[in-house]
Every structure is written in structure tokens, then in C-alpha cells.
Structure 1
Amino acid sequence: MPFARLATATTPTCHIGLGLAAVGRPGYINLGRDHDLGDDRSVEALRARTHELLDAAYAQGVRYFDVARSYGRSEEFLADWLAVRPGVDDIVVGSKWGYTYTADWTTDAERHEVKDHGVATYERQRAESAALLGDRLDLYQIHSVTPDSPALTDKDLHAKLAEAAAGGLTVGFSTSGPAQADAIRAALAVEVDGAPLFRTVQSTYNALETSAGPALAEAHDAGLTVIVKEGMANGRLAEPHAPDALGAVAEEAGLGCDAVALAVILRQPWAGVVLSGAATVTQLASNLHAAVVDLDEDQLERIAALAEEPGAYWERRGRLPWH
């Protein structure tokens, strides 16, 4: 598996990855976006910003990079970066299929992405990803599986994914929504010819949304690499939006709320890679401090008390505006 490369990395930041959802398209739901990106969100401006982030991340030991077909031009931006840096051969590249980007590079589209987990979408998007990333693509994930997703029961799709896996591509899935744990457990049961289909899982887990934790532990025990997304809860755990309890712990640690929030996830024994969704180099540098944060039991308990009921968390997330 490609993630075995991370096991031999020596930098503290090797288990922090960089996700490009926030910079691969002009509109997203993260809080503070107006300040982070400013007014110039042209293709070339975000391409340059993405390359700056990739350079900074790689220089500081980050070795996993995460994109998706629905993240605007994120695959294109990453492919461009790789093309001019041929010596960067020790990274892991993951992408996702299942959502189609439909915003046409605007921030006020009626629909920014359309979800479909059918075989036709997989084949179309697999070809699109291959055209951009070629053999640099290590991991291909089904984007946002929920318990009712046809991707969990479609045998034809499973056969296609198993064929890709036999060709050397690692196959995984990501989850979203209040029933993430159910989706994870259902995916763990998917087999092709008696062998588990999926080798990785990427789920939302943070100080406010911890419900997937037990299922992610089960996935880890089953041999899957666990990738954690939305560790900052789309900006709700970063200054100036962070809860007071998190801010108090961050002040005690002498670091940013973001570093503390990500450090809590890194402490989970099942967490293989925790994604930074930084939109600026300054944010990235602060996020990477998570690798060296040391928290005591009292601090961890105070942060654990912030957890919300999953339905309430996802309902609030669903109301975040694209901007």
C-alpha cells in the first residue's frame, strides 16, 4: 500500500496531509474565506496559491496530498506542480470520485456539485483523473459514502473497483453525515471474491464531531488506513470562531486553536493521516505545530466536552454558505 511510505518517514509532520478543497475552487463553505483568499480568485491566482502551499507543505515534511474531482481544478493544480518537480517521488496522492463540480468557477452557483455513485460516473471520472495525474495517483476514493449509497451494494461497481485495485491502485472511500459510523461498518463488509474491497477510509472527525471514532477504530483494526478530514470543522475550531474552552487550552499551550484541535485527532491511535485544509502558508505552518503539541488529561477532557450531537453538527454544517 502507498501509505507504507509514511511509516518510514522521520519528520513529525508525516502524518499530517494537505487537502486542497479550500484552494481548488473559488467557492467553499469554510469560515473566514473572504479574509483567507481575498478578492482575486481567478484560476491563475488559485493555481499559484496552491503551488505555494504544496511547496511549503513538502518542505516541512508533509507527504500526503488530497484532491477530488469536485474540488474544482485541484487535480489539475496538483498535476501541474508535480510536472515541474520531478524529484518529488516520495509522496502519496489521493483523489476522490462521485461528485461532479458544477459551479463553473463561481461562488454563487445554485449547485456547486452533484453527487452520483454510479458506474458511469466512476468510469468517466476515473478517466478524467487518470488524464491529469496518470501513475502519480495512488489512492482513489468514493466520495462521501452514506448508508444509503448504491456504492455499498452495486456489484458491477465493486468489480470495476477491484479491477483497478488489481492494477495497483489503492481503493478507498470517504464518509459524511450523521450516520458515518453506519457507512463505515457497511463498507467494511464489502468483499469481492472473498477479500475486502476497501483499503482506506476518510471521515470527518473533530472536537465537535466524534461519533465516527469507534467505527474508525474498527476500520484501523481491520487493516485500513484512516484519513481524517475536516479536523477544523470548516473553520469552527479556528480563531476567531473557536469555542472558549479550546481557546483556553490553546493559550495554555502557547499555540493556535487550530494546532490544538488537530493535535487531539493525532492522539487517536487509529488516525493514520490528519488533513490540514489550510488556505494560506501561515495557516499551514500553524496547523503543522499540531505534530508537537503535548496535552494533559485535564485539557483533553475539557476539549472532549465540546462534542455535539451528530445530527445537530451536520445540520449546522449544512447551513454554512458557499462563499
Structure 2
Amino acid sequence: MEYRTLGGTGTVVSAQCLGTMTFGNESAQEVAHAQLDRFVERGGNFIDTADVYSRGRSEEIVGRWLAASPGRRDGVVIATKGRFPMGDGPNDAGLTRAHLTRALEASLRRLGVEAVDLYQAHAWDPLTPIEETLGFFDDAVRAGKIRYAGVSNFLGWQLQKAALLARLRGLAPIVTLQPQYNLLARDIELELVDVCGHERIGILPWSPLAGGWLTGKYARDAAPTGATRLGEDPGRGMEAYGPRNAQERTWRVLDAVRRVAEGRGVSMSQVALAWVAARPAVTSVILGARTVEQLDDNLAAADLRLSGEETGLLTEVSAPVMGDYPYGPLGVDQRARTLPG
């Protein structure tokens, strides 16, 4: 297992992070604990959860696993999130000081810990000034309840504003961004990756396998069936499957991933995970698995290093469509400047 620093901090985390969204829903506690055991056995030390995952059950399952072995808490870096509703009241959501205070206290109780290493705003809140949220983060750091602050699902301007305000006001910095990022979803490269690079913010990609697409489990023009996330919910399955299936780019990417995987004798999942792990500013890739067997396959990607030729092929075939301006050729030319001579 490779290790990296958590954004611009000195805390060291594994380059793979165990995501726990399946815990308490798709993965029963016994299976979840087996995943946690296997992840740590393979050198993983970074675990990500959220209060809304199975409405708190995910955090409770992680908490019971931490409590089962003395000293286990000191060996792992725990991240969780708050923002979405956990109750029916009008103030039971958002990035307000009041809601996040209650959400954090509840997460600490479910996890059975005095502090979490990384507390993340699960998404932007258009009703709450970001200054209020940053103030809450800073107070929570000073109170010893969180060690670092991060955000998820922010746009470029939102992340830059938060990072700049925190620095100018001497508040706890934003150290991580958790966005969707994979070979089929590369739009964060338009602005967010550059913001993260300039601000020393580590990227924690979620859905690195594009909801199972990059595993090769779906076929062209064949509706998802069987034991897959899309197959088990036909309505949601077709809603998510149809648009992506209709894009020729999807199948070009899958064909390229399959070609690299067959040439290496590894799974398509491992190729897709290795590609995103090597992208600029990426700190740790969040793995989501239903079973220990799925996790084992994903963990094997930690030892896979793609060649320059393989990386080039995948990067070229998956290039996002940017148009001409402001992200395409005309916009790039407008912003270009080189030294004379």
C-alpha cells in the first residue's frame, strides 16, 4: 500500500480509502467488519463515512468495529460528513453552525470517539454564508472535536472562495475535496483540480468506478440485470443507464480499459482505479464494495502502475468534451503566455 499526506497536512493516509456507504444497507455488519479487517490487513488506514449513510447505521457499524479492539482507533484516520437531513425539522439540514454542531456531536456518539480526523461539508449550502461554516470548522478544530476540515461536491468558485476566506481570516484551512472522479466523469479537471493544486487541497475521488460501469459489468444496449446496483432497481437502473449508454464515448473508454486490463492480466476495476490514483492532486481513492471479494479486487489496484503508453491511451480516449470556450482551444489560447526567446 502506498501512503500520501492528507492534502497540505502532515497526516499520512493510505492511497486507498475504505468508503462505507454500503454499510448497514448493502453490507450487513458482519460483512462490513470483515471489509474493515481486510482493509487494515492490507495496509489501509483511511476510512470514510457520513451521517446519512444508512441514516447513521454506517457510523454505528464503524464505531462498533473501533470499540472491538483496544488501540484500533489510534491506527486509523477517520473521516465523516454532515450537511444533509437527519431529521424532519426546517433546521435539520445545511451547513449552518447550529445544524453542523448537532450533526458532529451525533456522529461522534455513533462512532464512539472524542474526535474525527477529517470532518467534511457534504455539499455546498446556498442558504448559509460560507463564512459561517468556516467559523464552525475553526471552532471545532480548536475544541479538539475535529482535526481537519474538508468539503465535498463543491464547484470551482465555491472551493476557491472557501479556501481563500479561511486563509485570509486565519481559520482552519480546507485540506480536502471529495468529488466524483473517474474515467467517465472528468469534469473536475476543468477548474477544481487546478484549485486543489494551487491551494494544496487533496482530492478524495468518490465513485472511481463510475457506479460499476468501469468494472465491465454492463453491456451495450442491454438493460442492467442481476446483482448490480442498477440491475436491482430497474427504474433507477434505466434512468442512470440510458444516458451513459447512448454516449459513444462511454464504449470507447470501456474498450480501452478492457484492452489494458487484458494486456496486464488484471481486472478492469484495477486499471480504472490505478488511473485515477495517479492523477494530479489525488490523495486517496475511495473504494466502495459490497463484499470482501469485491474489496480484494479493488485493493489489488494499489500495486498496479500503468505505463506511460497505457496512461496516455486511457487519458486520451476519456478526454471530456469541452467545446471551444472557455475551456476549449479558444479559451486556452486566450489565457496562454510564455516567456520570450
* Same fold (TM > 0.5): yes
Compute the displacement of 1:307 (Å): 4.2
Aligned partner of 2:12 in structure 1 is 6
Indicate conservation of the 8 Å contact 2:180/2:208, yes or no: yes
Indicate conservation of the 8 Å contact 1:142/1:172, yes or no: yes
Counterpart AA for 1:15: A
Compute the displacement of 1:50 (Å): 0.9
For the residues of structure 2 that align with 1:238 and 1:101, how far apart are their CA atoms?
A: 33
Asked if 1:129 is matched to 2:107, the reply is yes
Aligned partner of 1:250 in structure 2 is 261
For the residues of structure 2 that align with 1:115 and 1:160, how far apart are their CA atoms?
A: 15
Q: 2:82 aligns with which of 74, 97, 118?
A: 97
Indicate conservation of the 8 Å contact 1:171/1:198, yes or no: yes
For the residues of structure 1 that align with 2:274 and 2:198, how far apart are their CA atoms?
A: 21
Aligned residues: 270
1:96-128 deviations in Å (ceiling 9; x for gaps): 0011357xxxxxxxxxxx963333321221110
Compute the displacement of 1:175 (Å): 1.0
Provide the secondary structure at the position in 2 that maps to 1:199. strand
Asked if 1:171 is matched to 2:149, the reply is yes
For the residues of structure 2 that align with 1:195 and 1:115, how far apart are their CA atoms?
A: 23
Mapping of residues 19-168 of structure 1, within 5 Å: 19-26=19-26, 46-72=28-54, 73-88=57-72, 89-100=74-85, 116-133=94-111, 134-145=113-124, 149-151=126-128, 153-168=129-144
* Change over 3 Å in CA distance of 1:257–1:80 after alignment to 2: same
For the residues of structure 2 that align with 1:19 and 1:65, how far apart are their CA atoms?
A: 6
Provide the secondary structure at the position in 2 that maps to 1:236. helix
Provide the secondary structure at the position in 1 that maps to 2:204. strand
Compute the displacement of 1:234 (Å): 1.4
Compute the displacement of 1:87 (Å): 2.6
1:74-112 deviations in Å (ceiling 9; x for gaps): 11000000000223222100000011357xxxxxxxxxx
Indicate conservation of the 8 Å contact 1:5/1:90, yes or no: no
Indicate conservation of the 8 Å contact 2:137/2:172, yes or no: no
Indicate conservation of the 8 Å contact 1:220/1:226, yes or no: no
Compute the displacement of 1:264 (Å): 0.6
Identity %: 26
Please report the RMSD computed on the Cα atoms of aligned residues, expressed in angstroms: 2.6
Aligned partner of 1:42 in structure 2 is none
For the residues of structure 2 that align with 1:50 and 1:298, how far apart are their CA atoms?
A: 37
Contiguous gaps of at least 5 residues in structure 2: 219-250, 323-341
Indicate conservation of the 8 Å contact 2:196/2:203, yes or no: yes
Provide the secondary structure at the position in 1 that maps to 2:53. coil
Aligned partner of 1:319 in structure 2 is none
For the residues of structure 2 that align with 1:75 and 1:196, how far apart are their CA atoms?
A: 24
Indicate conservation of the 8 Å contact 1:189/1:196, yes or no: no
For the residues of structure 2 that align with 1:273 and 1:166, how far apart are their CA atoms?
A: 26
Which protein shows a greater Rg?
2
1:238-280 deviations in Å (ceiling 9; x for gaps): 1313822211111112111111111011112311111111111
Compute the displacement of 1:217 (Å): 4.1
Contiguous gaps of at least 5 residues in structure 1: 8-13, 27-36, 38-45, 103-113, 311-323
For the residues of structure 2 that align with 1:49 and 1:287, how far apart are their CA atoms?
A: 16
Q: Which has the higher contact order (CA 8 A, sep 6+)?
A: 1
* Change over 3 Å in CA distance of 1:154–1:182 after alignment to 2: closer
Provide the secondary structure at the position in 2 that maps to 1:237. helix
Counterpart AA for 2:279: Q
Compute the displacement of 1:309 (Å): 4.9
